[in-house]
A and B are shown apart, each in its own frame.
Chain A
Amino acid sequence: MSMFARTALDQQNRRVEWLVKTLFLMMTVLLIVPVVLIMGILIQRGAPVLSWGFLTEVPTNGMTAGGIFTALIGTVWIVTVALIASVPIGVAAAVYLSEYAPDNWLTRAINLAIINLAGVPSIVHALFGLGAFVVFFGFGRSILAASLTLAVMTLPIVIVATRESLQAVPHAFREACWNMGATRWQTIRKVVLPNSISGILTGVILEVSRTAGETAPIMFTGAAAFLPFLPQGVLDQTMAMSLHLYVVSTQVPNVPEALPFGVALVLISMVLVMNATSIAFRVYLRNKRKW
């Protein structure tokens, strides 16, 4: 018998190995089942109502017919205003935390606060937005109040993504700059930011998809169940895709069965397109970058 022949111990190891691998594989398959099911059912039930008119017409007959144009445009408004509010703040804060902040208790407290902010349930953000933006600042129920609420909620996404991409830029580049007499800001502007822009954009796009899908934070702060017209400015109320889905699914009688599926399909497609763009962008920029 060869010294390399399989023993009983090897046999047992192989059996355990196979079991573990199969178990993990099953868990992974389990993970994608809901995704496949959701997409499959949405496409199967929602696709029939999709048409050009569905995207470009306003809802009619008590939202049981017509399209989703007002909700679609409303979501674009809300997302855009939320980005304008949160991206500059988030990026600036991340640059400070990553490039300037000394490692002391205050910085650690701020980091902790950001992590906690990410963990606050969206309904709590909604109530905060109602109190702060709608009532206290007097914006009323408006796009501005809804977007600011979403901006507060999604700030941690931008901050964390930005900070991580800043820290991925090798420290040697900063050393080189400082040794030539460059200030921190010159270093950030000319070397650090240009090389972390892909990660920052990924964070922004993730934020967009999160913002587009949230319902609770905008329900009390600026999104209306039904409006027959488009918003004219940031102090108007608006319809929004996510709230529209909730309303036609649960609040309105006699809605054709396919309609909510159509709304959900459009909403999820928007988010998927965003995420795909984010991934494609990151891959593109990563391939361009070499050090």
Chain B
Amino acid sequence: MAEIAIETRDLNLWYGTFQALFDVNIRVKQGMITSLIGPSGCGKSTLLRTVNRVNERLGYVRTTGTVDVMGEDVFAAGVELARLRKEVGMVFQRPNPLPLSIRDNVLFSHRIHRGNEKVSRADEDVLVEDALQQVLLWDDVKDRLSQRATSLSLEEQQKLCIARLLPVKPSVLLMDEPTSALDPKATEALEALIWGLRGSYTILIVTHNMAQARRASEECAFMLLGKMMEIGPTDALFLSPKLSETADYIEGRYG
């Protein structure tokens, strides 16, 4: 039985008076890729944003229930958000590299989390190469690391946005429709790289793309109207869904 990386228990969430999540229970297995599918507005992104608590910045968000990451309650008193977000990286729909060089982008998170500790340039070079290798970007950009990241193609930018999370050794990567701004070829490249990251990181990925969930995830969770409907191995969920709602959704009867 695999270890559990993310576990929610009876998670309810309200934006003001609107309830977006209803008693959500999910156990995300460590080192696996779990996809979250469901129609727009079903709470997939909300669930994702609750794991690194970035939802709270909105100010009018209220939650009940618990979320554990690597066995620790993220809502516990004394949880430092900077620590949580170092452990739980987030990738967005639109690539959002910082307006810095490629190298500085990869090192950004590492630099803000290491305080005044001195790290030699050679050690930083190792971090940069290692991170860019993992996202299959190293060969393309190794000769132009000082170039502005915002001048890269969208595909390269999104790879970079994943790469910049890696030097701080997160255990969980949250991805919110990471390929929705990309063309099919770039999507394929991103899927290949995400697939390559499994085992090293626990990946929770929100997707609108049924084929993507099927191709690029090992576990799949189907959400509807804020409720967790069905979770299981991706193949099983697609081949023999237990609920008729799941079957209807994956067959494209609504979405």
Is B a genuine binding partner of A? yes
Docked Cα-Cα span, A179 to B176, in Å, equals 13
* Of A173, A181, A194, the contact of B84 (CB 8 Å cutoff): A181
Q: Is B92 an interface residue (CB 8 A)?
A: yes
Q: Is B98 an interface residue (CB 8 A)?
A: yes
A183 and B82 in contact, given A190-B108, A290-B150 (Cβ under 8 angstroms):
yes
Smallest beta-carbon distance B126→chain A, Å: 20
Q: Is B103 an interface residue (CB 8 A)?
A: no
Q: Is B83 an interface residue (CB 8 A)?
A: yes
In contact, A181 and B85 (Cβ under 8 angstroms): yes
Which residue in chain B gives the minimum CB-CB distance to A187?
A: B112
In contact, A175 and B86 (Cβ under 8 angstroms): no
In contact, A180 and B150 (Cβ under 8 angstroms): no
Which residue in chain B gives the minimum CB-CB distance to A183?
A: B82
Which residue in chain B gives the minimum CB-CB distance to A195?
A: B99
- Chain B residues whose C-beta falls within 8 Å of the C-beta of A175 in the assembled complex: 92, 96
Q: Is A113 an interface residue (CB 8 A)?
A: no
- Chain A residues whose C-beta falls within 8 Å of the C-beta of B83 in the assembled complex: 181
Q: Is A182 an interface residue (CB 8 A)?
A: yes
In contact, A291 and B99 (Cβ under 8 angstroms): yes
In contact, A172 and B112 (Cβ under 8 angstroms): no
Docked Cα-Cα span, A182 to B54, in Å, equals 12
In contact, A180 and B164 (Cβ under 8 angstroms): yes
Which residue in chain A gives the minimum CB-CB distance to B91?
A: A179
Q: Is B151 an interface residue (CB 8 A)?
A: yes
In contact, B98 and A176 (Cβ under 8 angstroms): yes
Q: Is B226 an interface residue (CB 8 A)?
A: no
Which residue in chain A gives the minimum CB-CB distance to B82?
A: A181
Q: Is A107 an interface residue (CB 8 A)?
A: no
In contact, B96 and A176 (Cβ under 8 angstroms): yes
Which residue in chain B gives the minimum CB-CB distance to A291?
A: B150
In contact, A180 and B99 (Cβ under 8 angstroms): no
Smallest beta-carbon distance A8→chain B, Å: 52
- Chain B residues whose C-beta falls within 8 Å of the C-beta of A181 in the assembled complex: 81-86, 109, 112-113
- Chain A residues whose C-beta falls within 8 Å of the C-beta of B121 in the assembled complex: none
Interface residue range, chain A: 10 to 19
Q: Is A191 an interface residue (CB 8 A)?
A: yes
In contact, B99 and A289 (Cβ under 8 angstroms): yes
* Of A173, A179, A183, A186, the contact of B99 (CB 8 Å cutoff): A173
Docked Cα-Cα span, A180 to B150, in Å, equals 18
Which residue in chain A gives the minimum CB-CB distance to B148?
A: A290
In contact, A290 and B96 (Cβ under 8 angstroms): no
In contact, B54 and A180 (Cβ under 8 angstroms): no
Which residue in chain A gives the minimum CB-CB distance to B87?
A: A181
Residue from A172, A181, A195, A291 having most chain B Cβ neighbours under 10 A: A181
Residue from B89, B92, B99 having most chain A Cβ neighbours under 10 A: B99
Within 8 A of A (CB), among B54-97: 54, 57, 81-86, 89-90, 92, 94, 96-97
In contact, B112 and A186 (Cβ under 8 angstroms): yes
Q: Is B30 an interface residue (CB 8 A)?
A: no
Which residue in chain A gives the minimum CB-CB distance to B150?
A: A291
- Chain A residues whose C-beta falls within 8 Å of the C-beta of B97 in the assembled complex: 176
Which residue in chain B gives the minimum CB-CB distance to A102?
A: B59
Q: Is A230 an interface residue (CB 8 A)?
A: no
- Chain B residues whose C-beta falls within 8 Å of the C-beta of A172 in the assembled complex: 92, 94, 96
Docked Cα-Cα span, A195 to B148, in Å, equals 13
- Chain A residues whose C-beta falls within 8 Å of the C-beta of B82 in the assembled complex: 181-183
Smallest beta-carbon distance B24→chain A, Å: 21
- Chain A residues whose C-beta falls within 8 Å of the C-beta of B100 in the assembled complex: 190-191
- Chain A residues whose C-beta falls within 8 Å of the C-beta of B92 in the assembled complex: 172, 175-176, 179
- Chain B residues whose C-beta falls within 8 Å of the C-beta of A179 in the assembled complex: 52, 54, 85, 89-90, 92
Docked Cα-Cα span, A186 to B109, in Å, equals 10
- Chain B residues whose C-beta falls within 8 Å of the C-beta of A290 in the assembled complex: 99, 148, 150-151
Which residue in chain B gives the minimum CB-CB distance to A173?
A: B98
Docked Cα-Cα span, A179 to B86, in Å, equals 8
Docked Cα-Cα span, A181 to B89, in Å, equals 9
Docked Cα-Cα span, A146 to B151, in Å, equals 48
- Chain B residues whose C-beta falls within 8 Å of the C-beta of A183 in the assembled complex: 82, 112
Smallest beta-carbon distance A45→chain B, Å: 50
Q: Is B231 an interface residue (CB 8 A)?
A: no
Could you write out 17 A-B pairs with CB less than 8 Å apart?
A173-B98, A175-B92, A176-B96, A176-B97, A177-B108, A178-B54, A179-B52, A180-B86, A181-B82, A183-B82, A183-B112, A186-B112, A191-B98, A191-B99, A191-B100, A290-B150, A291-B150
Chain B interface (Cβ within 8 Å of chain A)?
52, 54, 57, 81-86, 89-90, 92, 94, 96-100, 108-109, 112-113, 148, 150-151, 161, 164-165, 168
10 nearest CB pairs, A to B: A181-B85, A181-B82, A180-B109, A172-B96, A179-B90, A176-B96, A291-B150, A181-B86, A182-B112, A186-B112
15 additional A-B pairs beyond A175-B92, A181-B112, A186-B112, beta carbons within 8 Å, are A172-B92, A172-B96, A176-B92, A176-B97, A178-B54, A179-B92, A181-B84, A181-B86, A181-B113, A182-B112, A183-B112, A190-B98, A190-B100, A191-B99, A195-B99
